[in-house]
Structure 1
Amino acid sequence: MQINKERLVQTFCEMVSIDSESYHEKKMKDYLMNIFKECHMECIEMPIEGFEAGNIYAVLKGHTNKEPIMFSGHMDTVSPGKGKQAIIHEDGRITSDETTVLGADDVSALASYIEAIRTIEDNDLPHGDIELAISVAEEPYDAGSAYYDFSRIKSRIDYTFDLAGQVGLAALEAPSIISF
């Protein structure tokens, strides 16, 4: 069993095309909530006064006694991020049209989480609860995370795909702006 690479790239490119600069993530939030519901996930938005969109908590309920796991990410991009467009090159690379950022931070993580959930659902794979914690306004010093309702989270382990570098490497510790 493998992921559907074509569907993953399509999801990534759809998400890249959504304007989602920090504090202006409503369209991305709406897109994610719709996808999560299509994937049979329970999801809620945690509204934040003065913000266009709130943080998201979503869970794919498991049907085993396995420990829950969490994946976290953010839905905003840096500027210039309006009118983003993904260009797929013949060699498979995906870049922006060079007039904006691509917005791969953190769309690449979110698209991979979505594809993993879809693959689990498509193949009826046994799993424990899979939680997603998606924040707004991460780029301006994690502003949105300050409003996250962490009491909902049951997982003791979180994976955050928000790191530059060679594919296949992982950071076990790193300097950070905020700790939970």
Structure 2
Amino acid sequence: MEPVPLQRDRLVELFTTLCQINSPPRHEREVAEYVKGFLRGLGLEVKEDNASQIVGGNANNIVATLPANIDGAPKIFFSAHMDTVEPNPNVKIIVQDGKIHTDGTSILGADDKAGLSTILEAIRIVVENNLPHGQIQLLISVCEEVGLLGARALDFSLVDSDFGFVYDSGPPVGSVIVEAPTHDKLEVRVIGKPAHAGVEPEKGISAIQIAADAIANMRLGRIDEETVANIGIIQGGQMTNIVCPEVYIKAEARSWNRAKLEAQVAHMMAEFERAAQKFGGRVEIHHERHYEGYQLTENDLPVKVVRTAAQKIGLEAPMRKTGGGSDASVYNARGLPCCVVGTAMQKVHTHEEFVLIDDLVRGVDLTLAIIREVVAMR
């Protein structure tokens, strides 16, 4: 199968159209309708699950299927998410000198509309040119930016794929995320006792003091080369003349080494318990495994396919690890093998976010090369 030239202007139009649709977490309905219409127009079978009811949003995950037009090829999927990290209803997009960015007043939304547009354009090219392919599914999720909620709510009975590729990382295009951490979350309620701070403070127990003592004695930040921990949210107190009776804390820890993660979480919980006992208060701790980490090698099929395809079109295919999570963390944990693939998005989660048009083009070329590589596996 020979490479098919793609239309740069059409790709840019698709990407900017998606970015102009405001789609913060739990508000992806408009972009979901666009994606469904786009894929149905190409003849794909488009289904939705009931994720909106689970995550409390207005849109569901989309599972679209392009039936095979050849026999014997593995069934694969490509995945991206529709939500952006924050709203951008008045986004002003600038296309200039081979670069797409905003005027600096909002995010662009390239995370993950760079991944989404790359996948959609590649599928459009496959259909328009009747390129040989096995079955291809698209898993398009909601609420990735708020804890992978969409992927966690996905109805896996709709998925019929052997392995796949999650487009949700930055360049270089063709790079592969082969390792992601396991991530635990803590929600802590520190309970003290109120008293008038000016009249009888000795009768109170300060929840703030308990929290401060616990946090001051915790190992936080970068613990070692594999483990990090953070206190992210502290809420509490009403008035300066009241000994604070309650503090609410959200914390997390991540590690590529599960034993180290469990030791770090145990340490953090023990410090809260110790400080509460020291000052006569108590703590209620909710500990949750947010997502499981994964480790892949160059011999795992998704990695091998991406790297071989990338190298055949002249792209480097470095393997790297990440400290963040993605829908791939959920899919791998559910027994659906996949890797994260680098896309055009740069400076994500900032108002300086941008893509290079050449990187968008490379992403589509890589996707088509992956499809060719899978066909060759027959």
Bin of the TM-score, shorter chain as denominator length: over 0.9
Q: 1:163 aligns with which of 169, 178, 184?
A: 169
Trace 1:123-138 onto structure 2 (pairs within 5 A): 123-138=129-144
**Corresponding residue to 2:80 among 66, 73, 81:** 73
- The alignment partner of 1:87 has SS state of strand
Match of 2:128 among 117, 122, 128: 122
Equivalent residue number for residue 4 of structure 1: 7
Structure having the higher helix fraction is 2
Query: Which one has more relative contact order, counting CA pairs under 8 Å at least 6 apart?
Result: 1
Q: Corresponding residue for 2:359?
A: none
CA contact (8 A) 1:8 1:111 kept: yes
- For residues 97-118 of structure 1, what are the alpha-carbon distances to aligned partners after superposition, in whole Å with 9 as ceiling and x for unaligned? 2111000011011111111111
C-alpha contact 1:4 1:119 (8 A) present in aligned 2 = no
1:79 partner letter = E
Name the CA distance, whole Å, in 2 between partners of 1:40 and 1:71. Answer: 17
The code of the aligned residue for 1:40 comes to G
- The aligned amino acid for 2:83 is D
Aligned equivalent of 1:35, options 38, 49, 54: 38
- 2:111 corresponds to 1:105: yes
Evaluate the alpha carbon distance shift between residue 141 and residue 94 of structure 1 in structure 2; reply closer, same or farther with a 3 A threshold. Answer: same
CA distance in 2, matches of 1:12, 1:3: 14
Q: Secondary structure at the match of 1:34?
A: helix
Partner of residue 90, structure 2 = 83
The CA distance in 2 between the partners of 1:80 and 1:27, in whole Å, is 13
Partner of 1:26: 29
Deviation for aligned residue 1:155: 1.2
Does residue 152 of structure 1 match 2:155?
Answer: no
What whole-Å deviation, never above 9, does each CA across 1:158-179 have from its counterpart, x for those lacking one? 1011012323322222233643
Structure holding more strand per residue:
2
Unpaired runs of at least 5, structure 2:
182-324, 335-378
* In 2: Cα distance, 1:44 partner to 1:129 partner: 15
2:100 maps to a residue whose letter is I
Aligned-residue CA RMSD in angstroms?
1.4
Percent same amino acid at aligned positions? 36
Are 1:61 and 1:128, in contact at CA under 8 Å, matched by a contact in 2? yes
Paired amino acid for 1:85: K
Instruction: Compute the TM-score of the two structures, normalised by the length of structure 2.
Output: 0.46
Is 1:174 the counterpart of 2:174? The answer is no
> How far apart, in 1, do the equivalents of 2:104 and 2:14 lie?
21
Q: Between Structure 1 and Structure 2, whose CA radius of gyration is higher?
A: 2
Q: Normalization by structure 1: what TM-score? A: 0.93
1:8 is matched by which residue type in structure 2?
Answer: L
SS at the partner of 1:2?
A: coil
**Helix, strand or coil: the match of 1:18?**
coil
Q: Displacement of 1:8 after TM fit?
A: 0.8
Q: How many residues are aligned here?
A: 179
The question of whether the paired residues in 2 share the 8 Å contact of 1:60 and 1:130 is answered with yes
